[in-house]
Amino acid sequence: MQQKFETVETLPTDVRAAATDEILTEELLPPQDLDTELAELATSIEASATRKKNDANALNKTNMKQAAIVLAPLVLALVGSLVAMMRDLVSPAAAMWIAIASLFWAIITGVFTLPWKPKNPSTDVEEERLTTQRLVAIDDVRAVPLLLDALRWHTDRTLRPELWKALGRLLPRLTAAQAHALGPGRLRRMAFWIHSWNQTPRHSSVTALGTPPIVGILHVLAHSDQGSYRFYHPASETAFSVLTIAKTWAAGHSLGKNPEVRQAAIACCEVIKTRKEQARSSAQLLRASAPASSAPDSLLRPAQGVQETAPEELLRATSPTPHDDDHA
């Protein structure tokens, strides 16, 4: 009795194990939902914002304590010595030595209180690093608001190059509606960036950015409704126009020496001018004209003194005259 054997091709054990692992991984890890991912990243960035605000409040409180410890004894000593000298309780020389001793006290206490600075825990930095890695991997314009917020609230400055690179990739893809949806706060921040870059175009941070983020910001600000921005500082107030900066760069000055930035600035000027012309035309079309003054005697009234036409004299429809061709 003859037995018939069939040759069966088999894979190596390691290959079969790898294939099995890939199948199990695909089954265990469902496709990632972008909305869920963005919501998780937004929560993480909000936590960073809360930590940064708390750190700022703690720093302000520490500075106030330092000022109280350093300045309060100095002020009291100076005022006390001055009052005592005016009442002839101490001599001017003694008041001078009291002032000098108070000044040395302020210096010594200031040196000892300098290390009183709050420090961020290392776990926060690790969380920011993981958030940045997940955020820059998203190739969708819906990640732009989170990228801008991460630049503002993340305390680890070493993560900024990756965030800027992602913004340079996504900002030029925003539509006018998406640019407007960023909100006035983010648009104001981007306007402040180009204002500062226009003031110091050779700064090392601007050189490290490259042209894509700058071109993207010009693209977004060109499609925003607000053309001028105003910034308040305790010492001064700064007001500038995006169109003015774009004209400067379009003329080849400052950052406009770069050809890509110059072309983007020229396009930004054209978009802003077109939008202003359209707004002006719409305003002229919608402007109400002055109503014509009509006196009561100029209103429409029924005609008087017109003779009525007899019914037999009215126009009547007649049958068409037969042509010779109809009788042919």
Instruction: Indicate the range of 34-43, 96-105, 139-148 predicted with least confidence.
Output: 96-105
Dihedral of the alpha carbons of 257, 260, 266, 269, in degrees to the nearest 10: -100
Instruction: Indicate the range of 170-184, 241-255, 301-315 predicted with least confidence.
Output: 301-315
Q: What angle do CA 221, 223, 225 make, to 5 degrees?
A: 85
d(CA 184, CA 224): 9
Residue 231 belongs to what H/E stretch?
strand 228-232
Answer whether 168's CB lies under 8 Å from 131's CB.
Answer: no
Residue 65 has pLDDT above 50, yes or no: yes
With bands split at pLDDT 50, 70 and 90, how would you rate the model's confidence at 215? very high
d(CA 117, CA 106): 18
Can you give the pLDDT at residue 124?
77
Q: Structure tokens of 115? A: 């290390």
Can you give the pLDDT at residue 27?
39
d(CA 153, CA 33): 25
With bands split at pLDDT 50, 70 and 90, how would you rate the model's confidence at 324? very low
Q: Structure tokens of 20? A: 């099995």
pLDDT average, residue stretch 128-140: 94
pTM for this entry = 0.65
Residue whose entry in the numeric block shows the structure tokens 């496709």? 31
Single-letter residue type at 174: L
Q: What is the pLDDT of residues 259-317, one digit of tens each?
A: 999 999 999 999 988 888 887 877 666 555 545 454 444 444 445 555 555 555 544 54
d(CA 13, CA 15): 5
189 Cβ contact partners less than 8 Å away, ≥ 6 residues apart: 148, 152
d(CA 191, CA 238): 12
d(CA 198, CA 202): 9
Q: What is the pLDDT of residues 196-213, one digit of tens each?
A: 899 888 887 888 889 999
pLDDT average, residue stretch 219-234: 75
Instruction: Indicate the range of 11-20, 65-74, 107-116 predicted with least confidence.
Output: 11-20
Residue whose entry in the numeric block shows the structure tokens 């042919």? 328
Q: Which residue has the higher pLDDT, 102 or 303?
A: 102
With bands split at pLDDT 50, 70 and 90, how would you rate the model's confidence at 257? very high
| Secondary-structure breakdown of the chain: helix, strand, coil percentages, each rounded to the nearest 5 | 70, 5, 30
Sign of the torsion formed by the C-alpha atoms of 162, 164, 169 and 175: positive
d(CA 37, CA 148): 17
Can you give the pLDDT at residue 29?
37
Q: Which residue has the higher pLDDT, 40 or 283?
A: 40
pLDDT average, residue stretch 31-43: 85
Can you give the pLDDT at residue 267?
94
Residue 195: Cβ within 10 Å count: 18
Residue whose entry in the numeric block shows the structure tokens 């400067």? 248
212 Cβ contact partners less than 8 Å away, ≥ 6 residues apart: 165, 167, 168, 169, 171, 172
Residue 91: Cβ within 10 Å count: 11
With bands split at pLDDT 50, 70 and 90, how would you rate the model's confidence at 248? very high
